[in-house]
Structure formats: structure tokens, C-alpha cells
């Protein structure tokens, strides 16, 4: 399958290019593109593929028979490029997040679209799905708990020697303007810190936990509590909790901490049910073939039995193979347009909850009940009087510190 690559940054250099080279039996790189012309030319020489610095021109050539599919690996929202690729009849694998706003997805044809959430394809995640089915399915989950300790990207990539692209401002401006317009559609002209929290933290990283929750139990039914701290640090720590989908009596809790000098990336996702627990421990995503550990604890008679599963099969590679099957065999991906839209809606519910507690004005898509925002009587996880107190007290203090 001939593929074009749009965006040659960190994730392309550290992950996708090495894996595509490894799987020459299934893929051939037919074109590469980056707004930094020098970077595009260097990667094109190494890959033996034509290099572009204009995504539209590369997509035009692809749609004319130059390649079958495109990997959209650019930073920010991918809505603009994904729409352009789909309109040219190309198959698309887009890195998360698919978009910043629901408006970007209006009328988007999704039959050739796969959204890249590689942790869904991790062999440990798939084995957990099997173990959960054996335990009785999603409805038996009493609590889903996730904790992420996130060091700086640079510290995770010291081994990788990636080349940083530096496109001129005039080259990047149209895409930056499109991102800003999408954020305004989603949030209105809210505080810059809230826009960054939504784009860079919730949709930029926490979306992985949302995608795993969606895979294991379904997207959350409510977002009851969101805390963001410290007020003078970005990226901050984020904590959220609520109820799992209707039909389940379970709840979830997620804690995400950006700790730039932390020794290593850690992510733990645990599901507790009446008969035992299942725990995933993810390594840094940039370490190819580093296994995720699944631990399943259960009781056999009077004995506690713990089973550990580790598989060095690479989740990004398994995701690429799933994309190949999607294109060649019409095997549906784990996340397409509908799943990506679910995650955007959940992200908007998260910032809606936090903005209301903190007293930060919010508009756009996040302001309405259509996002699934909880009713006024339960704001802040308490009654309406508690919500009003939070908005007029600590919430305003947060806003004074955070807003530019």
C-alpha cells in the first residue's frame, strides 16, 4: 500500500518512519510533506520518496494516483487536512485529536477514516478486554482508575535524536489560524489558559485515557468533578471523576500530572470489579516494543491468583496493520469518526465543568447542554448553592491567576 505522510515531527521520526521501514512487506512511502522544506527534503532523501512543503499539493498528487492513503501526523487539530484528504478519495489514518471542535467534523465522510489511538491496539489492552468479558463485561466494573505521570517530551526523547522542524511563520500561519478558529467554535473567546488546557492537555494527552475508557466500558455518563492545579503552572495537574455509562453502577477517576523532571513516563489504568482487579502499566510511548504489563488478580478457592501478561508486539505497529486491513479488507477500526467525536464531546464536558466551577466565561459548543453538560443542580458535584459559592469564590481566584 502506497502512503503519503503529512507532518514529519517527533511522532513521525521516532515511531512511524521506523515502523514503515520495518513493514516494507505491506507499505511503501510514496510521498512525505512538512512545512519545513529542509526537513521534508532530508526525510524524503532517506525514504526514497518525493518531498513536499505544501500539504495540498501532496494531497492533489496523491488523489491523482500517487498513493492510496495518507498518515496525518501534524500537530494541533487535524480536521482541515483530514477533510482535504477524504475529499480527494484517499484513505486516512489521523493522529489524535481528530479535531478541536465538532463543527470541523460536520459533513465529514467517515467511511475511509481511522483515528490513531495506539493504546487501544496494545496487546495488553486487548487481553484486558478478554479478561473483562470473562469477568462479566463492562457492567461489573465498580471503578476505573487511571493515573499518568508525564515527564517532558524532551526527556522521553533523549535517545531518539529527532530533528525539529522550524517552518517560517508565513507557512504555519494558515494552520495556526484554523486551530484558533476551531478553538473559538468550541470554547468561545475564553481565557487563553482554558483554551490551552482543552487543546494541549485534555485533547492532546488525556484523550488516551478517554479512548481506553471508551474501549473498556464506554464513554462516561457524567463528569461530576474536575480540579486543575497549581494555578501558576502549565501544563498543570488535572483530576476528574464521574459515573461510567448508564447500566453500570461504576465510577471512574483520572489523575494526570505533568512533572517535567520525573524519572520516566508512567501510566496505570486499573479496573476493579467484584471478583478481582485488572491493571495496565504503560511505558513511554516512544519506546518501541517495550511491553505494557497487564496484571489480573482473582480468587481461586481460598487462594489469590495473580496472572501477568507481557507482549513485546508494538502497539503502533499493530495499529498500522489494522489500518492496512481497513483499507484492503474493509475491517473497521477501533476508532473512526464516531469514536473521535465521542472523545471531543467528553473533552468539552470536562472543560465545561471546570469553567463553571472556576467562574471562567465559556461559550461556543461547550456552553450548551448539547455537550452532555450536567444540569445546574449538580454543578461542582454538590447542590446549586455550593456551585454558586465555588463560582464566586475559589473559581474566581483561579481565573484571576490564570487568565492573561
Mean pLDDT of 367-376: 48
- What element of type H or E holds 215? helix 207-216
Output the DSSP codes for 19-77: HHHHTTTT-EEEEEE-SSHHHHHHHHHHHTS-EES-HHHHHHHIIIII-SEEEE--SS-
Residues 161 and 301 in one domain: yes
Query: Considering the domain boundaries, does residue 331 fall inside one?
Result: no
| DSSP-assigned letters across all residues of 85-153 | HHHTT-EEEEESPS-SSSGGGTT---TTEEEE-GGGG-HHHHHHHHHHHHHT-GGGEEEEEEEEEE--H
**One domain, residues 158 and 47:** no
Q: Model's pTM, two decimal places?
A: 0.89
User: Out of 57-66, 217-226, 371-380, which region has the weakest mean confidence (pLDDT)?
Assistant: 371-380
CATH number of the domain that 194 lies in?
Answer: 3.30.360.10
Q: Are residues 166 and 303 in the same domain?
A: yes
Question: Is residue 329 domain-resident?
Answer: no
Query: Do 111 and 230 belong to one domain?
Result: no
Domain encompassing residue 57: 2-119
Q: For 313-345, what is each residue's pLDDT tens digit? A: 999 999 999 999 999 999 999 999 999 999 999
pLDDT of residue 77: 97
User: What pLDDT sits at residue 246?
Assistant: 79
Rounded distance, CA 14 to CA 381, Å? 42
Q: Is residue 202 part of a domain?
A: yes
3-state secondary structure of 1: coil
Q: Please indicate, yes or no, whether residues 231 and 262 belong to a single structural domain of this protein.
A: yes
Q: Are 253 and 246 in contact (CB under 8 A)?
A: no
Query: Which three cell numbers mark 389?
Result: 459559592
Query: What does the pLDDT look like over 156-204, one tens digit per residue?
Result: 988 888 888 888 888 899 999 999 999 999 999 778 999 999 999 999 9
Residue 369 pLDDT > 50, yes or no? Answer: no
Do 226 and 86 fall within a single domain?
A: no
At 175, which helix (H) or strand (E)?
Answer: helix 169-187
Supply the mean pLDDT for the chain: 90
Distance of CA 320 to the CA centre of its chain: 16
Residue 195 forms part of a structural domain: yes
Indicate whether 376 pLDDT > 80: no
pLDDT in tens, 26-49: 999 999 999 999 999 999 999 999
Q: Can you name the residues that pair with 281 across neighbouring β-strands?
A: 268, 293
**Stretch (H or E) spanning 385:** helix 384-392
Predicted local distance difference test score (pLDDT) of residue 32: 98
**pLDDT recorded at residue 4:** 98
Asked if the model's pLDDT at residue 309 lies above 80, the reply is yes
Residues 113 and 151 in one domain: no
The reply to whether 258 and 380 lie within a common domain is yes
pLDDT of res. 158? 86
Whether cis (ω within 30° of 0) applies to the bond prior to 97 is yes
pLDDT at 271: 98
Length of the chain as a residue count: 404
What's the domain count of the chain? Answer: 2
Residue 373 has pLDDT above 50, yes or no: no
Position 371 in a domain: yes
Residue where a domain terminates, one of 93, 119, 145: 119
Tell whether 129 and 93 lie within a shared domain: no
Structure confidence at residue 249 as a pLDDT band (50, 70, 90) = confident
Q: Are 128 and 280 in contact (CB under 8 A)?
A: yes
| Residue 391 pLDDT greater than 50, yes or no | no
CATH classification at residue 37: 3.40.50.720
- Please, which pLDDT band fits residue 372 given cuts at 50, 70 and 90? very low
28 domain-assigned: yes
Confidence of residue 286 (pLDDT cuts 50, 70, 90): very high
**44 and 167, same domain (yes or no):** no
Name the band, by pLDDT with cuts 50, 70 and 90, for residue 368.
Answer: confident
Please compute the mean of the pLDDT values over residues 292-301 and round it to a whole number. Answer: 94
The last residue of a domain, from among 119, 143, 161: 119
Whether residues 224 and 371 fall in one domain: yes
Average pLDDT over residues 367-387: 39
Q: Worst-scoring range by mean pLDDT, 206-210, 253-257, 293-297, 391-395?
A: 391-395
pLDDT band at 388 (very low <50, low <70, confident <90, very high): very low
Q: Is residue 333 included in any domain, yes or no?
A: no
As a three-state string, the secondary structure of 8-35 is CCHHHHHHHHHHHHHCCCCCEEEEEECC
Domain boundary among 119, 138, 156: 119
Average pLDDT, stretch 223-229? 97
Q: What is the pLDDT of residue 404?
A: 30
Query: Residue 382: is its pLDDT beyond 80?
Result: no
383 domain-assigned: yes
Looking at the fold, whether 45 and 165 belong to one and the same domain comes out as no
End-to-end CA distance of the chain: give it in Å, rounded: 48
Least confident of 110-114, 227-231, 337-341, 357-361: 357-361
Long-range Cβ contacts of 85-89 (<8 Å, 24+ apart): 85/6, 85/59, 86/112, 86/113, 88/59, 88/60, 88/62, 88/63, 89/63
Is the sign of the CA dihedral 349, 354, 356, 359 positive or negative? negative
Amino acid at each position: 500500500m502506497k502512503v503519503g505522510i503529512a507532518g514529519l515531527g517527533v511522532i513521525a521520526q521516532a515511531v512511524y518512519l521506523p515502523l514503515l521501514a520495518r513493514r516494507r512487506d505491506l507499505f511503501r512511502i510514496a510521498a512525505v510533506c512538512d512545512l519545513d522544506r529542509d526537513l521534508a527534503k532530508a526525510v524524503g532523501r532517506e525514504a526514497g520518496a518525493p518531498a513536499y512543503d505544501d500539504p495540498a499539493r501532496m494531497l492533489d498528487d496523491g488523489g491523482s494516483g500517487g498513493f492510496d492513503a495518507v498518515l496525518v501526523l501534524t500537530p494541533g487539530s487535524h480536521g482541515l487536512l483530514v477533510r482535504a484528504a477524504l475529499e480527494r478519495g484517499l484513505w486516512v489514518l489521523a493522529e489524535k485529536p481528530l479535531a478541536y471542535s465538532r463543527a470541523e467534523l460536520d459533513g465529514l465522510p467517515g467511511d475511509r477514516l481511522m483515528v490513531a489511538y495506539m493504546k487501544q491496539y496494545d496487546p495488553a489492552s486487548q487481553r484486558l478486554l478478554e479478561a473483562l468479558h470473562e469477568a462479566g463485561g463492562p457492567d461489573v466494573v465498580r471503578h476505573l482508575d487511571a493515573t499518568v505521570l508525564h515527564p517532558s517530551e524532551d526527556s522521553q526523547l533523549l535517545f531518539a535524536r529527532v530533528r525539529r522542524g522550524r517552518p517560517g511563520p508565513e507557512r504555519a500561519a494558515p494552520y495556526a489560524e484554523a486551530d484558533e478558529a476551531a478553538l473559538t467554535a468550541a470554547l468561545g473567546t475564553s481565557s487563553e489558559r482554558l483554551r490551552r488546557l482543552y487543546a494541549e492537555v485534555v485533547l492532546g494527552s488525556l484523550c488516551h485515557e478517554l479512548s481506553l475508557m471508551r474501549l473498556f466500558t464506554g464513554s462516561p455518563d457524567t463528569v461530576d468533578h474536575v480540579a486543575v492545579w497549581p494555578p501558576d503552572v502549565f501544563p498543570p495537574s488535572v483530576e476528574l471523576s464521574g459515573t461510567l455509562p448508564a447500566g453500570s453502577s461504576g465510577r471512574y477517576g483520572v489523575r494526570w500530572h505533568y512533572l517535567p523532571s520525573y524519572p520516566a513516563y508512567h501510566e496505570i489504568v486499573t479496573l476493579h470489579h467484584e471478583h478481582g482487579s485488572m491493571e495496565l502499566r504503560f511505558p513511554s510511548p516512544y519506546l518501541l516494543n517495550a511491553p505494557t504489563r497487564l496484571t489480573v488478580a482473582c480468587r481461586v478457592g481460598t487462594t489469590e491468583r495473580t496472572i501477568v501478561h507481557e507482549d513485546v508486539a508494538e502497539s503502533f505497529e499493530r495499529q498500522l496493520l489494522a489500518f492496512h486491513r481497513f483499507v484492503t479488507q474493509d475491517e473497521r477500526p477501533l476508532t473512526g469518526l464516531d469514536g473521535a467525536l465521542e472523545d471531543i464531546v467528553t473533552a468539552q464536558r470536562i472543560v465545561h465543568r471546570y469553567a463553571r466551577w472556576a467562574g471562567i466565561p465559556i461559550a461556543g459548543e461547550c456552553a450548551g447542554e448539547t455537550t452532555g453538560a450536567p444540569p445546574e443542580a449538580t454543578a461542582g458535584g454538590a447542590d446549586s448553592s455550593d456551585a454558586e459559592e465555588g463560582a464566586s469564590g475559589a473559581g474566581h481566584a483561579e481565573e484571576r491567576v490564570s487568565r492573561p
